[in-house]
Each structure stands twice: as structure tokens, then as C-alpha cells.
């Protein structure tokens, strides 16, 4: 069985937005290209989070509409395992850890599948640590 990870939108966005990549996130991306090496779990909201950040990047003239569409299309080429997270558990974690419900979905999946969480979101790292969820925080040092 391949090792698995829950990957949050913040990591995927480092692959898509210029200047956001780190050596660690690029290494994960390279491993994810060959889906025989690892399995990546995401909640259904992952796609909307990524698309929303790309939309904001277009609105702020950081990238063009064409670049946003290409970025999202490139991400669709990855083999993510989309898994729903229990909404009651997500709400409970959100209240307990002061997180958005869609962020708590990543924690729920990591607990359910007993896999590490990959994130560059400090709030998620802190909550995961409090919950004893294996987490591999990815430093924000740029390439």
C-alpha cells in the first residue's frame, strides 16, 4: 500500500502560483505526478478553495484568466482521492480550534484515514498538533 497524505489547498496552490513554491512542496508535487508513489486525499471543497484563490489572483492581476484556467486544468491531471468529511465532526473541530469548517475537513480526513496532513497553513498545523494528527509542516522558504 502506498503512503497517503491529506493535502490542503495551500500546498496545491504553491504548485500553481508564481513565487509560492518551496523545495518541499515541489518535492511533493513531483511525487504526486507519479500516483503510484503516494495517495493524496482531499475533501470535495478542495477544488472550490483552489479555484477561489485563483479567481482572487486574477482579480488582483497577479495572473491572467488564461493562466488561472491552465493552472486549474493542470491540477485536475493529478489523481486525488476525493473523500467527504463528516460535517458534524468538521463543525465540532471548527468550534474547538477556531477554524473555518472547510479547513477542519482536512483534519477530519487525516484522522479518518490515519495519514499525515501536508499544509503550509500555520493554523492547521497548530490544530493538528493539538489533536495528535501527524503533520508535516512545509516551511514557507521560497525557492
Tens digit of pLDDT for each residue in 55-113? 999 999 999 999 999 999 999 988 899 999 999 999 999 999 999 999 999 999 999 99
Rounded-to-integer distance, Cα 136 and Cα 116, Å: 7
Indicate the class that CATH gives domain 7-137: alpha beta
* pTM reported for the whole predicted model: 0.88
Long-range pairs of 46-52 with CB within 8 A, sequence gap ≥ 24: 46/7, 46/8, 46/9, 46/12, 46/80, 46/82, 49/9, 49/102, 50/9, 50/12, 50/13, 50/16, 50/75
Please report, for the chain, the start and end positions of each structural domain, with discontinuous segments joined by +.
Answer: 7-137
120-142 confidence digits (pLDDT tens) = 898 999 999 999 998 876 655 43
pLDDT tens digits for 21-69? 888 888 888 877 766 678 899 999 999 999 999 999 999 999 999 999 9
| Whole-number pLDDT of residue 143 | 36
Q: What is the separation of C-alpha 40 from the centre of its chain, rounded to a whole number of angstroms?
A: 9
Amino acid at each position: 500500500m502506498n503512503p497517503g497524505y491529506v493535502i490542503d489547498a495551500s500546498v496545491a496552490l504553491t504548485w500553481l502560483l508564481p513565487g509560492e513554491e518551496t523545495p518541499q512542496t515541489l518535492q511533493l508535487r513531483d511525487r504526486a505526478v507519479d500516483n503510484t508513489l503516494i495517495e493524496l486525499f482531499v475533501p470535495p471543497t478542495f477544488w472550490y478553495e483552489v479555484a477561489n484563490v485563483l479567481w482572487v489572483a486574477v482579480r488582483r492581476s497577479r495572473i491572467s484568466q488564461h493562466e488561472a484556467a491552465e493552472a486549474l486544468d493542470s491540477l485536475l491531471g493529478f489523481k486525488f482521492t476525493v473523500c467527504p468529511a463528516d460535517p458534524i465532526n468538521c463543525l465540532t473541530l471548527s468550534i474547538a480550534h477556531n477554524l473555518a469548517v472547510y479547513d477542519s475537513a482536512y483534519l477530519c480526513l487525516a484522522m479518518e484515514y490515519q495519514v499525515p496532513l501536508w499544509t503550509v497553513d500555520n493554523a492547521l498545523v497548530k490544530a493538528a498538533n493539538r489533536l495528535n494528527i501527524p503533520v508535516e509542516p512545509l516551511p514557507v522558504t521560497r525557492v
